[in-house]
Amino acid sequence: MFHSRSRLTTGTVLALTAALSLSACGGSKAGDEGASSTSCVDSSGDTIKLGFLNSTSGAMAISEQTVRDSLSLAAEQINASGGILGKKIEPVVEDGASDPAVFAEKIEKLLTGDCVAAVFGGWTSASRKAMLPVVEADHGLLFYPVQYEGLEASKNIYYTGATTNQQIIPAMDFLKSKGVKTLFLAGSDYVFPRTANKIIKQYAAELGIKIVGEEYVPLDDDDWTTQVAKIVAAKPDFVFNTINGSSNVGFIKAYYEQGLTAKTTPIISVSIAEEEAPAMGKDVTGQYAAWNYFESVESPTNDAFIKAFQDKYGKDRPTSDPMEAAYTSLYLYKNLVEKADSFDVDKINAAADGVSFDAPEGTVTIDGENHHIAKTALIGQINADNQFDVVWSSEKPIEPDPFLKGYAWWDPSAK
């Protein structure tokens, strides 16, 4: 069963209204579960169009450019091995400009103007929430590669990043194992951090961890001076960081300038990876992050992935979780289409359950009921080379539970 929730700004809603009023190619509307869509996707030739929609400008470019690069690598590899059902991928690229309204407009263009068979991209939950009603109305497919707050499942979206029980909850289990008693929450002011922290607060109460502060700054704001002063005053055992994009630079700057360190007040982050760590402007050695992939994962598949990426983009380019999840998403799409023997959305969805890929992070498998994938949770500690030493692992893939049905402490109606 699929459920979705949207929490959008007035500006985004107006943009979506405008986008949805455009001439479409005949997709079924959201809720028309049995409707057969008349797609404008042309799969009759030697190529198939796929949309790559990532922010290559604005506050999120620091993170999303590497996702674009990994998608391009996967497309080249797939084309070199014969394509998808014998058809070469023809990428159609767009810049989401770090703006949810732009993501909504661009995915409409890609699906109904460029007639792509699927779209790969988005980072922030605000961008995904903006795209969701568009991709559902046009009965297209979106592959979303980033960890997020859960509480969502759409028949038109495949979620290849972690949901809450594969990242946030394991991170809290790790903190409990370290004897953490007090925790401060710092996040960007939009849907992912707000919802993630709602979950964190409820699980913290279950674990006996006291929340001693909760502060937010707008996604495009880099000034964390006032909020970090409150962290200093609260003296928490740990800071749980749900900040996204370049705002992390301002947070880390204020953190160190006000005398905090990894030894006195360590941070666990869910949006700082190998790509972001060296861009923080400070030595972040000793800080922690919760992901499902690190470049340091030891396996022949990961070694081959790192070599291919660095051969293409340079030996100084690290690999990271979101770009690995994006790379994986394109291969999962290939496997979905080939299992369905079709580019048709309904046929792909019917074939989805159990489709897997031997990814750099390990074997991942699609849950056909909620379109998420089973993933192993990892906690890494940043070393002097801005790489992550794995200090905790779930040891095996965690089945996705986006609505936290398996957690008795979770109350979605609580404030």
What string of H, E and C letters represents the secondary structure of the chain?
CCECCCCCCHHHHHHHHHHHCCCCCCCCCCCCCCCCCCCCCCCCCCEEEEEEEECCCCCCHHHHHHHHHHHHHHHHHHHHCCCECCEEEEEEEEECCCCHHHHHHHHHHHHHHCCCCCEEECCCHHHHHHHHHHHHHCCCCEEECCCCCCCCECCCEEECCCCHHHCHHHHHHHHHHCCCCEEEEEEECCHHHHHHHHHHHHHHHHHCCEEEEEEEECCCCCCCHHHHHHHHHHCCCEEEEECCCCHHHHHHHHHHHCCCCCCCCCEEECCCCCCCHHHCCCCCCCCEEEECCCCCCCCHHHHHHHHHHHHHHCCCCCCCHHHHHHHHHHHHHHHHHHHHCCCCHHHHHHHCCCCEEEECCEEEEECCCCCEECECCEEEEECCCCCEEEEEECCCCECCCCCCCCCCCCCCCCC
Q: Do residue 384 and residue 242 come from a single domain?
A: yes
Q: Do residue 274 and residue 322 come from a single domain?
A: no
Residues 180-231 have pLDDT tens digits of 999 999 999 999 999 999 999 999 999 999 999 999 999 889 999 999 999 9
Q: Do residue 81 and residue 229 come from a single domain?
A: no
- For residue 257, what are the domain limits? 165-297+379-393
Q: Do residue 305 and residue 348 come from a single domain?
A: yes
- Is the per-residue pLDDT at 1 higher than 80? no
Q: Do residue 203 and residue 275 come from a single domain?
A: yes
CATH for 370: 3.40.50.2300
**Average pLDDT in the 304-329 region?**
97
- Is the per-residue pLDDT at 362 higher than 50? yes
**Average pLDDT in the 228-251 region?**
96
Residues 134-188 have pLDDT tens digits of 999 999 999 999 999 999 999 999 999 999 999 999 999 999 999 999 999 999 9
Q: Do residue 132 and residue 217 come from a single domain?
A: no
The confidence band for 39, taking pLDDT boundaries of 50, 70 and 90, is confident
∠ CA 15-120-339 to the nearest 5 degrees? Answer: 130
C-alpha distances in Å from residue 283, one per residue of 258, 278, 382: 15, 8, 10
Flag whether 2 is in a domain. no
**Percent above pLDDT 90 for the chain:** 88
**Average pLDDT in the 105-133 region?**
97
Q: What is the pLDDT of residue 3?
A: 59
**Average pLDDT in the 245-262 region?**
96
Q: What is the pLDDT of residue 141?
A: 98
- Is the per-residue pLDDT at 8 higher than 90? no
If one counts the domains in the chain, the total is 2
Flag whether 281 is in a domain. yes
Flag whether 242 is in a domain. yes
